[in-house]
Amino acid sequence: MSFESAISFFLACFVFSVTPGPGCFAVIAQSLTRGMKPALTLACGMILSDVLYLLAACMGLSVIATQWELAFNIIRWCGAAYLLYLGWGMWNTKHADAAEAKASHKSASKLFSQGFLISISNPKVILFYIAFLPTFMDLTALTANDIGLAVVLNMLALFAGQWIIALFASRAKSYFQSEKGAERLNKGAGSIMMTAGVFLATR
């Protein structure tokens, strides 16, 4: 991969990371309700899933994605149901419950796993990668160095995008400090999460 191709690949992955979708909505909702650090932990789980899809695309496994459409649709619908479940839980969280949840903190591993499940339930990501990868590299002549560089650039670009999203969402959180404001925040975050579920189900 040339230097110019590497820069272009990084920018393409960055734009992909900030494009509205289930993962983006989930990070916003998490950052609004719990803060930036938990949101980034969630994002790291999603990034791992994306890297696995990128590797699958590099190895030509997109053929499986097209031939096993029903199985992938079932995975996608399960992911959508999971997002709706999380959003409904946020929507119904009262101010006191939110304070208790914030004090207890979800474990990093649970947030990471949640992020991984959100992203892995969207198998169409592999089709996205296989569509634009040929623009930056010859998939018929990939080397280990090419794949390694693509993975590193992909991880950096996705993390940068999710960091920016989490930062802006956490800044907005400061405007919802009162009891009524916190309840509105929970309902807003829940709505965002449920929107992510609907978005995933209808793609």
Highest mean pLDDT among 14-18, 68-72, 147-151: 147-151
Q: Which residue has the tokens 């990093």?
A: 108
pTM strictly above 0.85: no
Task: Tell me the Cα Rg of the chain.
Answer: 18
> Residue 47 pLDDT more than 80?
yes
Instruction: Please write the tens of the pLDDT for every residue from 134-155.
Output: 777 776 677 888 889 999 999 9
Name the residue ranges covered by the structural domains of the chain: 3-202
Give pLDDT, residue 98: 46
Highest mean pLDDT among 5-9, 36-40, 192-196: 36-40
Among positive and negative, which fits the CA dihedral 39, 40, 45, 51?
Answer: positive
Q: Which residue has the tokens 């999603």?
A: 46
